Amino acid sequence: MTHPTDDLTALLDGALAPARRAEVEAHLRACGACRAERDRLHGALALLGALPPPPEPSPFFTTRLAARLAREPAPSAGVLARFLAWRWRLAVPVAGLAAAAAVAVLTVRHQRAEELALAADLDLMENYELVASLGDVETEEDAAVVASLDQLGRTGRTP
Amino acid sequence: MTQDPDAALMLAFQRGDAQAFRVLYERHARAMVAYCHRFVRDAGRAEELAQDVFVKLHRAAHRYSPSARFKTFLYRVATNHCLNELRRGEYAAREASPGAPEGDDAPDLDALPSPRASPQQELEATRLAGAVVKLLEGLPETQRAAFVLCRFEGLSYQEIAETLETSVSAVKSLVHRATVAAAGALAPFGPETAQELAP
């Protein structure tokens, strides 16, 4: 058995499947180097657990949030519908039949992906709503620019 | 699918129950401020970011459908927002500034230990907090997010995978690499430090 170094953190986190955990633990009983590495990682986790807690929200946090929410306009279904329509129209040339097939297969997994996509698209939606609130987005070129707004400032992103 | 009480609250808010949103906020506000603070290390800015997250939730409520745990959805929104914040120039400039103090010379003033700690403990906690700040700043952003979600927010690998929209095996790798980096960065601190500072 090769050294299961890459599994040591998952072992400490209790995230290994039972069979794999048994293999790694058997290896650790026979390998001092891997035990030392496990102990080194465990020591780091203990130090992280000893960090002082982050600050509590200030007494004004709730008040400020309530004030912001009070200024929020009611969600505009019209704007969102237009946003979704543009997204769909822009997506068709790219995704083609694959997108149509994906829409047809409404599984739980797909719903989950849509929900996560919603989380990812919130910034984009807000950019669109902001632009749409300032004036009409009438051309596909304008819509393409709006659809790319969230890419601004993403330079230097590392995987 | 409303076994998740948070998802049920979000659905209630969709139906017009404003109090449901307030309950959601009360359940998660503190964690959101703490999470955002791990990224920006400024109490005021962390509060603003956490407020932004709740405003986004408020705006998107009518599109929400409970197919995954609400907590996963919430951290996804917060992670995207915090990473976008970090990509803005001011943070990159501050971290790259040759004149700016860094690492253990720049302790996180918002996370200083309780005044009840001894001066020695305060000093050690400040050094440790500074080393962790430097560690986080040096991690690639996805590793950083996975590490913070795992080590400070207590999310499972599965939940992190859903939050970051990646696989569990990828999360395992991200968390492992970041933990190895942490072991290197925190090597100057011995196990006695953890014992001294443990709550």
The interface predicted TM-score (ipTM) is: 0.81
At B63-111, the pLDDT tens digits run 888 877 899 999 999 999 999 988 875 655 555 444 444 333 444 544 5
Interatomic CA distance for residues A102 and A98, integer angstroms: 6
| A124-144 per-position pLDDT tens digit | 555 555 544 444 444 555 555
Rounded to two decimals, the pTM is 0.71
- Mean pLDDT, rounded, for B145-165: 95
Measured in degrees and rounded to the nearest 5, phi and psi for residue B124 equal -65, -40
Which pLDDT tens digit goes with each residue over A18-70?
999 999 999 999 999 999 999 999 999 999 988 888 878 888 898 999 898 88
Type of residue numbered B60: A
A100 Cα distance to chain centroid = 24
Any residues with CB less than 8 A from the CB of B72 and at least 6 apart, and which?
A116, B155, B159, B162, B163
Residues of chain B contacting A68 with CB distance shorter than 8 Å: 51, 55
Q: How many residues does chain B have?
A: 199
Which of B12-21, B167-176, B186-195 is the most confident on average?
B167-176
Given B37, B88, B194, which is nearest A54 (Cβ)?
B37
Q: Which two tokens stand for residue B24?
A: 């959601």
Whole-number average pLDDT of chain B: 84
**A13 contacts on B by Cβ (under 8 Å):** 150, 157, 175
Using a CB-CB cut-off of 8 Å, the residues of chain A touching B129 are 51-52
How far, in Å, CA of B182 to CA of B194, rounded? Answer: 14
Calculate how close chain A gets to B99, using CA atoms only, in Å.
22
